[in-house]
Amino acid sequence: MLKKSFTLSLIAILLTPFISFADEGMWLPLLLGKQEADMQKNGMKISAKDIYDVNNASLKDAVMLFAGGCTGEFVSNEGLLLTNHHCGYGYIVRHSSVERDYLTNGFWALNKQEELPCDGLSITLLVYMEDVTGKVLKGVTNSMTEKERNEIIEKNSKEVISEATKDNHYKAEIAPFYYGNQYFLYVNEVFTDVRLVGAPPSNIGKFGGDTDNWMWPRHTGDFSMFRVYASKDNKPAKYSKDNIPFAPKKFLKINLSGAKEGDFTFVFGYPGSTTQFLTSFAVDDVQNFDDPTRIKLREKRLDIYNKAIKQGPAQRLRYANTIASIANGWKKWIGEVRGLKRLNTIEKKKDFENNFNSWCQVIEERKENYGGLISSFEKEYSLRKKLNMDVLYLREAVLASDLMKNARNIYGLLDRIEKGKISDKEEIDLFSEKLLSRMQNYFSNDYTNHKEVDKAIFVDLMTTFYNDYSKENIQSSVFGNSEEIGKNPEKYFEKVYETSFLSNEKKTNKYLKKFNVKKIKKDPAIELFALLWENIEIKQLPALGQIEENLDSLYRIYVRGIMEKESSKQFYPDANLTLRVAYGKIEPYYPKDAVKYLTHTTIEGIMEKENPEIYDYVVEKKLKDLYKRKDYGRYKNEKGELPIAFIASNHTTSGNSGSPVLDANGNLIGINFDRNWEGTMSDIDYDKSQCRNISLDIRYCLFIIDKFAGASNLINEMTILE
């Protein structure tokens, strides 16, 4: 197996018609000067300063963090922005109802008055960034304890931040890089009046659904549009009817001629998290424990929700978002495990660690600085294993049901009362009223149908937790020797569900109106939650936190050592939800023996996948008509086809969703929305023969806005280069 894939990637490299370059890496825009020559050698026609410049408008002024976890980009001077459909998803759902189902049918504001305010949505624009390592580490010495070190860093950071935000409306933060070997200050503008402008129907924006998710070839029109509003002086302001469209310093021009295989591209956005320096022990945990457990637990939940949505449109609307997010991680981890196995990452890391250890032995000073690291890692990871599993089960199994989530909310109040944090009757009433209104809201949303679903989740996941894990790992302290549960756990959990007041509207009203601590504590669901929470979260979490902290400081030293050992290599810091540039080119790949995946998909693929029986593969008549007439307007490629998506070797990760994909001139050619399944291990181990990012072709995006939706008002705002 291994040998085969080895030869395969070799063939792939040999067959690739262009010489590969720095595909791996997510570079800091401020330091892009170091990459400039390589980028230009590979086709880039602009300069690093065109991408990031503090003094002049540059591309960075068009790129934003969207909703705290995605990327977006301005495409007009009136604050119009593009991001993914799956990034706007939650807001589209929130504006949807069975009667006005924007999620299913799409939404297009034909003028600004029709745009929909999105409470809670914010976008962040970077004003400037700065290396503040010296300031942050001022006074830190090698002989300090971690605690002392952290205290100084915190104090220094506060000073730097308050300096940066004095007399202005900016928000600032400091992010550590290379596990705290370097620090950067980020000074941002945060806008909170952001309105929904457009979204294609689900059968375009999510075409292929979770079946196609993480896969190439892809045909998803994964985009949505929003507009940022500002005060009259173009500054961030809370929502107000009087706000005006924000005028960004820069917006992206759109290149309609697209890009072809071999062309240079770069992705500019906010990758969330990567861990290239993980040790073999950590990768072993991910590959053999964490991922398989999470996969198994999520499969159970997905089975139940997927059955539920078949019951009707109301159920689909209710569970669509939940399913999408559970399935997304589930599928990614499956790909990650496969990729790590295929790359033999654990063995590779072991070799690397042995090598590192030998390198340490050569000089006394190295031995002193780095000599014991690998064995310390081993020790910490072995301590971490069980604690980590406990917490993972708590999150993925115990807290899977609404019953337990509701129990957690009520437990929160109980706990505060018991600890004497609130004793005032009025205050208790105020909190319990809030809880009651939340619960009433919960019951009012078709609880009769939901109850069956939630109960199934609770019973199934708790039974799995009990049988597969807690019996051996935490049983005695948590469930005691309860005979009842031992005999028939399913029946036991069913009874908990049915007898808890939390599954009964009337009883909930009664219990929460008169918040009787003793009575509430005796509720079987609350009692169960409290036991698990106290045994896992309260007892284990601090210990786990301590281990994570120890690991962080080991990694800080380890990474410093690695950089010293390989001093000629260009390193990039792991992703940490700060703005980065990844560059590569439009490039095919060879997923398996004798199979080559080409770089672009076209509308032909949508028609091939069409299946009116399957929700995710329905193609609307309107789109089919345009297809039949080949009515693609100016959005077709040179062969007269309508391009849909393309792949490139830009190193991306979650958070890069919605990121602009730019051509050699810095013009927009696509919107990043996914990675290929064969490449999802790239967060840990990047393989340039297999890892590709997947982008929506901007021509399909504009085609949908223009020809399909007829929203020419939006097209007219953009600057389109043909």
Give the separation between CA 568 and CA 383, rounded to whole angstroms.
35
Select the span of 168-176, 347-355, 619-627, 670-678 touching ligand GLU (CB under 6 A).
670-678
Nearest distance from C-beta of residue 421 to ligand GLU, angstroms: 38
Q: Would you call 294 helix, strand, or coil by DSSP?
A: helix
Question: What stretches of 539-618 show up as alpha helix (H) in DSSP?
Answer: 539-565, 603-609
Give the separation between CA 687 and CA 676, rounded to whole angstroms.
12
Nearest distance from C-beta of residue 214 to ligand ARG, angstroms: 5
Closest CB to ligand ARG among 180 and 335? 335
Nearest distance from C-beta of residue 644 to ligand GLU, angstroms: 17
Length of the chain equals 722
- Identify the CA nearest to 411 among candidates 499, 514, 506, 533: 533
Q: Which does 422 bind (CB under 5 to 8 A by kind): ligand ARG, ligand GLU, none?
A: none
Nearest distance from C-beta of residue 331 to ligand ARG, angstroms: 7
Does position 274 bind ligand GLU by CB under 6 A?
no
Question: Residue with structure tokens 């992206």?
Answer: 252
Does position 657 bind ligand GLU by CB under 6 A?
yes
Nearest distance from C-beta of residue 205 to ligand GLU, angstroms: 13
Start-to-end C-alpha separation, the chain: 47
Q: Which residues contact 410 (CB under 8 A, 6 or more apart)?
A: 435, 502, 512, 520, 526
Closest CB to ligand GLU among 70 and 92? 70
> What residues between 75 and 104 interact with ligand ARG by CB under 6 A?
86
The residue type at 501:
F
- Give me the DSSP letters along 315-341: HHHHHHHHHHHHHHHHHHHHHHHHHHH
Nearest distance from C-beta of residue 673 to ligand GLU, angstroms: 6
Does position 601 bind ligand GLU by CB under 6 A?
no
> What residues between 675 and 694 interact with ligand GLU by CB under 6 A?
675
Does position 653 bind ligand ARG by CB under 6 A?
no
Give the separation between CA 685 and CA 340, rounded to whole angstroms.
7
Q: Which does 209 bind (CB under 5 to 8 A by kind): ligand GLU, ligand ARG, none?
A: ligand ARG
Give the separation between CA 454 and CA 720, rounded to whole angstroms.
49
Helices and strands of the chain, counted as H and E runs: 30, 22
> What residues between 52 and 71 interact with ligand GLU by CB under 6 A?
70
Does position 653 bind ligand GLU by CB under 6 A?
yes
Does position 324 bind ligand ARG by CB under 6 A?
yes
Q: Which residues contact 562 (CB under 8 A, 6 or more apart)?
A: 277, 356
> What residues between 206 and 235 interact with ligand ARG by CB under 6 A?
206, 209-210, 213-214
Q: Which does 580 bind (CB under 5 to 8 A by kind): ligand GLU, ligand ARG, none?
A: none
Does position 658 bind ligand ARG by CB under 6 A?
no
Give the separation between CA 234 and CA 252, rounded to whole angstroms.
19
Does position 673 bind ligand GLU by CB under 6 A?
yes
Nearest distance from C-beta of residue 400 to ligand ARG, angstroms: 18
From residue 604 to residue 643, what is the string marking binding to ligand ARG with x (rule CB under 6 A)? ----------------------------------------
Q: Would you call 207 helix, strand, or coil by DSSP?
A: coil
Closest CB to ligand ARG among 106 and 248? 106
Give the separation between CA 52 and CA 563, rounded to whole angstroms.
26
Closest CB to ligand GLU among 118 and 267? 267
CB-based contact 230:74 (threshold 8 Å): no
Nearest distance from C-beta of residue 206 to ligand ARG, angstroms: 6
CB-based contact 558:380 (threshold 8 Å): no
- Identify the CA nearest to 188 among candidates 177, 175, 179: 175
Q: Would you call 72 helix, strand, or coil by DSSP?
A: strand
- Identify the CA nearest to 335 among candidates 67, 672, 22, 677: 677
Closest CB to ligand GLU among 432 and 652? 652
Does position 319 bind ligand ARG by CB under 6 A?
no
Does position 331 bind ligand GLU by CB under 6 A?
no
Q: Which does 688 bind (CB under 5 to 8 A by kind): ligand GLU, ligand ARG, none?
A: none
Number of residues that bind ligand ARG (CB under 6 A): 12
Q: 88: which 2 tokens?
A: 């706007």
Q: Name the DSSP class of 27.
A: B
Give the separation between CA 713 and CA 704, rounded to whole angstroms.
13
Nearest distance from C-beta of residue 535 to ligand ARG, angstroms: 33
Q: Given candidates 464, 652, 667, 690, which one binds ligand GLU under the rule CB under 6 A?
A: 652
Q: Which does 324 bind (CB under 5 to 8 A by kind): ligand GLU, ligand ARG, none?
A: ligand ARG
CB-based contact 469:389 (threshold 8 Å): yes
Nearest distance from C-beta of residue 616 to ligand ARG, angstroms: 9
φ, ψ for residue 688, nearest 5 deg: -70, -15
Q: Which does 327 bind (CB under 5 to 8 A by kind): ligand GLU, ligand ARG, none?
A: ligand ARG
From residue 665 to residue 694, what is the string marking binding to ligand ARG with x (rule CB under 6 A)? ---------x--------------------
Q: Given candidates 255, 401, 657, 693, which one binds ligand ARG under the rule CB under 6 A?
A: 657
Q: Which does 652 bind (CB under 5 to 8 A by kind): ligand ARG, ligand GLU, none?
A: ligand GLU
**Catalytic residue numbers, as ranges:** 86, 222, 657
The residue type at 235:
K
Give the separation between CA 386 and CA 245, rounded to whole angstroms.
52
Using CB under 6 A, list all residues that contact ligand GLU: 70, 652-657, 673-675
Using CB under 6 A, list all residues that contact ligand ARG: 86, 206, 209-210, 213-214, 324, 327-328, 654, 657, 674
